[in-house]
Homo-oligomer: A and B are copies of this chain.
Amino acid sequence: MPSTSPSGEVPARTKRADAVRNQQTLLTAAAEVFVTSGVDAPIREIAARAGVGMGTIYRHFPTRADLVVAVYRHQVEACAEAGPSLLAAADSPFAALRQWVDLFVDFLVTKHGLANALQSDSTGFEALHSYFLDRLVPVCAQLLDAAVEADEIRPGTAAYELMRGIGNLCVGRDSDPRYDPRRLVDLLLGGLRRAQPS
């Protein structure tokens, strides 16, 4: 029986373990599906990927917007945490930056989908956007600084500017095989590199 708090307020029931697990599974599954099929991917596809029933999705995320927002937060967090660990694990700071940007581009699919999913709630969107900036700009800056420090790239590029540039490259990626944002992002990153000594 759930313990009643002394103040008499409604007891916060502990969530069942399987529910928590499923929620996590769904978040990562949805993120993957968003990348391959866009944020408008059929619910069935996400459910299948996560290995759960559709009812489960609707219980955790009643509307598509709920799901997209949850994935968004999840991704921001994952991206933020990935920065330092990539830096520690990769061969070089620039390699870490490259890998991080790859994650970031995946994440942008969700971010851009968010605008559509939240059409009728622009204030909520603003809040999520500034959360995104506060959390990720410092991480990106750290990666850039490290690469500069290691003399792999030229100094003088701000994290915000780079992220915004990448973000802009990734708009309008709607099933047009002639436009592959990732190629251009790679070019952009190449442009950062310090000119090789001849």
Contact = CB atoms under 8 A, between A and B. Distances in A.
Interface of A: 119-120, 122, 172, 174-176
A120 B173 CA distance: 7
Contact of A120 (B119, B120, B122, B176): B176
7 contacts: A119-B172, A119-B174, A120-B172, A120-B174, A120-B175, A120-B176, A122-B172
A181 to B, nearest CB: 13
Contacts of A172: 119-120, 122
Contacts of A174: 119-120
A96 to B, nearest CB: 33
A172 to B, nearest CB: 6
A72 to B, nearest CB: 19
Contacts of A176: 120
A174 B116 CA distance: 11
